[in-house]
Amino acid sequence: MRHWTECETLYLGTNEIAVLPDEVSFLTKLRELDVRTNHLSHVPPALSACRELKKLHLGNNRIADVPAEVLAHLTEVEELHLYKNKLDALPEQIGSLTKCTRLTLSSNNLRTLPDAIASCQSLSELYINNCGKFANLPSSSGDLVNLQELQAKKCRASSRCRTRPSPGRTSASSTSARRRSRSASSRRLIATLDAQHCKIRGGVQKKGGKKGKKK
């Protein structure tokens, strides 16, 4: 890779690659990297040197976490694909992807998303299908003013993704009060997304108890 400094597009999908070498840091002009369907277990911090990346395909691997420093530096990314991995959580630095329009997180172990997701103001498509442990969305998701497609099919056994109030948003102490707060927060989020004509498919509870239409 040391000799590929002018490379802008690199497709390495379906090659049984287990490690992405640190030499990837030499690819400073890279605009698209596709390493889907390999055996990667981690994302090297060296990838943070590829600051011109616009499309990053990491789907269908074994990745358990994405380094915060990588997300903090890849501010030009417009598409980030992390589906079919082993992610338990995303760092707050996901909010650095202010130009990202498409984020695919389906088939992971995620339970929720960071509040910083609200900083991804360009986001128009968000996919969290088949995340069996996913239980709630942060209420800050309502700030995603350009979101047009939200898919949350086959989430937690309840088949219902609620909203999670941001820290400090509620001081209710009783269980019933917390439930009312979550319900009200969920209604506000759905009303916000409906107002911007966002398509909600599966998982997220619609008004009147009806779920969004499935494909």
Three-state helix/strand/coil letters over 61-79: CCCCCCCHHHHHHCCCCCE
Q: What is the mean pLDDT of residues 61-65?
A: 97
Structure tokens at 27: 């690819």
Q: How many whole angstroms separate alpha carbon 68 and alpha carbon 79?
A: 17
Bridging pattern class, strands 9-11 and 102-104? unpaired
Identify the pLDDT of residue 190.
Answer: 76
Identify the pLDDT of residue 201.
Answer: 85
Q: How many whole angstroms separate alpha carbon 210 and alpha carbon 201?
A: 11
* Cβ neighbours of residue 60 closer than 8 Å, sequence gap 6 or more: 36, 37, 38, 83, 84, 85
Q: What is the mean pLDDT of residues 5-13?
A: 96
At residue 2 the predicted structure's pLDDT band, cuts being 50, 70 and 90, is confident
Q: Rounded to 5 degrees, what are φ and ψ at 140?
A: -65, -15
Q: What SS3 class is residue 138?
A: strand
* Cβ neighbours of residue 159 closer than 8 Å, sequence gap 6 or more: 202, 203, 211
Q: How many whole angstroms separate alpha carbon 34 and alpha carbon 12?
A: 6
Identify the pLDDT of residue 215.
Answer: 38
* Chain segment 79-117, per-residue pLDDT in tens: 999 999 999 999 999 999 999 999 999 999 999 999 999
Query: In this prediction, what percent of the chain has a pLDDT beyond 90?
Result: 65
Structure tokens at 185: 């927060």
| Range from 11-20, 138-147, 157-166 that averages highest in pLDDT | 11-20
Q: How many of the other CB atoms lie within 10 Å of CB of 145? A: 14
Q: What is the mean pLDDT of residues 170-186?
A: 53
At residue 192 the predicted structure's pLDDT band, cuts being 50, 70 and 90, is confident
Q: How many of the other CB atoms lie within 10 Å of CB of 93? A: 19
* Chain segment 150-159, per-residue pLDDT in tens: 999 988 743 4
Q: How many whole angstroms separate alpha carbon 141 and alpha carbon 146?
A: 11
Identify the pLDDT of residue 205.
Answer: 41
* Cβ neighbours of residue 125 closer than 8 Å, sequence gap 6 or more: 101, 102, 103, 104, 147, 148, 149
Identify the pLDDT of residue 109.
Answer: 96
8-state DSSP, 14: S
